[in-house]
Structure 1
Amino acid sequence: MASETIVPPTVGDQADCNEVNTCHVDEFLYDVEEVEKLAKKGKLKRQYCLDCNSRNITAYYFSNAGTIIGVEMNKECCEVQEKIINQYSMNQNRIKVIHSDVMDRSDIVASSNIIVANVLDFFVDIEKHKKIWYFFKQHIKKGSYLICNRSITDTLESIGLSEELIDWLSICKPCRQENEIFFDLEDFMDMHLYKVN
């Protein structure tokens, strides 16, 4: 309300709050669940632009990739991903989620420049796990990148394929180019980047 006076604190753990980075919501009128609903509807913004202080912002894709395709074998996970794509008004011609076993989509794998592979240990048995890595070796094109959240050496050793497939990939070191910050390396210590030989 315009008649209410809000004075941001200047001491204590909330001294960093000000009229630009903080939106006052009366807890008497709006409980946590109501605030969450308002945020989901876009009526209350949780972020703002550090450059101009605008709250009129949307999700930004940290990629100039023409198309981003996710292949997911769990239908429920696909539905969640599609809901997020719709919720944030992402370009559905650019971002797609396909409900399928990746081994049934060699067309997508063969045409991809970057593949992000989950650890498969918890989702398939050892024989299927081996088949997937043979499939990847057959269909991922030379020069493409493979991102894994586990060392490929550990992955292949655990299923007995390290001798057979280790020369297929080269380790890439993350780098920072001038005026570009990709990510904080400490936050992604478990991510591994490889290039297909």
Structure 2
Amino acid sequence: MSEAPQVDILEASKEKFVNLISELDDSQFHTFEQFVQSALQEYHGQIHHHHGDEGDAMDTEEHDGSYQPVSDAKMMRLGRMIKDLRTRVPISAEAPGEKTVIPNTPDFKGFTDQNTVHVDGFLFSEEDVDDLCEEGKMSRNYCLDCKSKNCAPLNFISHSASVLQLQFLYQVALADKVKDKVIVDVGSRLGAVLYAGHLFTRARKIIGVEINEWFTKLQKDMIKQYKMDDRIEVMCKDIQTMPELLSKDADIVIMNNVFQFFNDLPMQQQIWKFVRAETKKKSGLLLVTLPALQDQLKEAGLSANKLMKGWVKEVKLNYDGGWFQDLNDDELEEIKQVHLYKVL
């Protein structure tokens, strides 16, 4: 269908809808509004499922609602680590010579090397970025043709979980599931998941697997400096060379958008199939992904339903449970990137 007829249908539908609600009196309007909202939600779900993979919906279970508080002293210690890291890495938090690839997917349509900035979400909050812009160290816009009036917003990409995401991860999603357990962070990069895990939890062991030597050394230096080597270990390896780490050692595996920006599609597919095959050997193993596992598999060109069937069920998290005060819409969307799954 051409674009023009689609526009005509849309405009005609809008007109019909307005005419329809104009016929309702005040007593009927509220009931009709509730009906429309529920109908739209249902239809949205059908569309989402239709555009996904064929097959049955994935099994789910509800999160138990546990919450683990974190003291101000621990948050301040994490803040000191962040300030320290800012002096050791560039704003983009990219390793020397590191090459990242902007995925050719709908989520990143229009993103280019010219209009995209890498800013580490662990090191810099939105407020920090605003401060950097005010100081002239960064801009939120770029010039389209070197004329000052013709500017467009830059796209921002982070390769680390933010502090808020880490708080939600450990204080809510994994609140009562970590004590005496082994956590494995695949692609540990700056070590954000490791440091927060050490501060926020009583995990027995926290293992980072990082393929980049520069990032590995950085993490080891931080771990030694802040005396976290009693429970944290970092390995400079490709996760595909360590199957038993996933199939036997780990109780919890964390993956923060770990393959998409660093591997081509065939390699992403190979790694995801490896992760599935090894984690599937340990029933009850918990997987945490940012963003949703379904989305990451689809972005890698894989059938999410086919791979997830017989592998995991999602543990539905309550993002708006009042865990943190005064979350704005952007912050709520931020923690909604955290997803929890249990191996069947």
Give the TM-score band, short-chain normalised: 0.5 to 0.7
* Residue in 2 that maps onto 1:102: 239
Q: Distance in 1 between matches of 2:243 and 2:250?
A: 10
Q: Distance in 1 between matches of 2:295 and 2:234?
A: 29
Q: Distance in 2 between matches of 1:173 and 1:162?
A: 17
Structure 1, unaligned runs of 5 or more: 1-35, 41-58
- Please state how far the C-alpha of 1:93 moved relative to its aligned partner: 3.9
1:85-113 Cα offsets, whole Å, 9 max, x none, are 112111x2421000000000112112201
Structure 2 residue 310 is the aligned partner of structure 1 residue 171: no
Structure 2, unaligned runs of 5 or more: 1-82, 88-195
One-letter amino acid of the structure 1 residue matched with residue 243 of structure 2: S
Structure 2 residue 190 is the aligned partner of structure 1 residue 68: no
Q: Distance in 2 between matches of 1:174 and 1:84?
A: 32
Structure 2 residue 337 is the aligned partner of structure 1 residue 195: no
Structure 2 residue 317 is the aligned partner of structure 1 residue 145: no
Q: Distance in 1 between matches of 2:276 and 2:203?
A: 23
Is the contact made by 1:130 and 1:161 (CA closer than 8 Å) also made in structure 2?
Answer: no
One-letter amino acid of the structure 2 residue matched with residue 125 of structure 1: D
- Secondary structure of residue in 2 paired with 1:84: helix
Q: Distance in 2 between matches of 1:173 and 1:62?
A: 22
Tell me: CA distance 1:194–1:113, structure 2 relative to 1, closer, same or farther (3 Å). Answer: same
Q: Where has structure 1 moved over 4 Å in runs of 4 or more?
A: 181-185
Q: Higher relative contact order at CA 8 Å, sep ≥6: structure 1 or structure 2?
A: 2
- Please state how far the C-alpha of 1:164 moved relative to its aligned partner: 2.2
* Residue in 1 that maps onto 2:270: 131
Q: Distance in 2 between matches of 1:182 and 1:82?
A: 31
Q: Distance in 2 between matches of 1:182 and 1:94?
A: 28
Structure 2 residue 289 is the aligned partner of structure 1 residue 160: no
Tell me: CA distance 1:94–1:182, structure 2 relative to 1, closer, same or farther (3 Å). Answer: farther
Tell me: CA distance 1:182–1:84, structure 2 relative to 1, closer, same or farther (3 Å). Answer: farther
Q: Distance in 2 between matches of 1:63 and 1:174?
A: 19
Q: Aligned residue pairs: how many? A: 137
One-letter amino acid of the structure 1 residue matched with residue 226 of structure 2: Y
1:46-100 Cα offsets, whole Å, 9 max, x none, are xxxxxxxxxxxxx96212211110101111111111111112111x242100000
Q: Please tell me the root mean square deviation across aligned C-alpha atoms, in Å.
A: 2.7
Percent identity of paired positions between Structure 1 and Structure 2: 29
- Secondary structure of residue in 1 paired with 2:284: coil
Q: Distance in 2 between matches of 1:170 and 1:97?
A: 29
**Structure with greater helix share of residues:** 2
Q: Distance in 2 between matches of 1:69 and 1:116?
A: 10
Structure 1 segment 76-115 matched on structure 2, within 5 A? 76-90=214-228, 92-110=229-247, 111-115=249-253
- Please state how far the C-alpha of 1:182 moved relative to its aligned partner: 9.3
Q: Distance in 2 between matches of 1:147 and 1:182?
A: 20
- Please state how far the C-alpha of 1:196 moved relative to its aligned partner: 1.1
Is the contact made by 1:69 and 1:97 (CA closer than 8 Å) also made in structure 2?
Answer: yes
Q: Distance in 2 between matches of 1:188 and 1:154?
A: 16
* Residue in 1 that maps onto 2:62: none
- Secondary structure of residue in 1 paired with 2:227: coil
2:260 to 118, 121, 133: 121
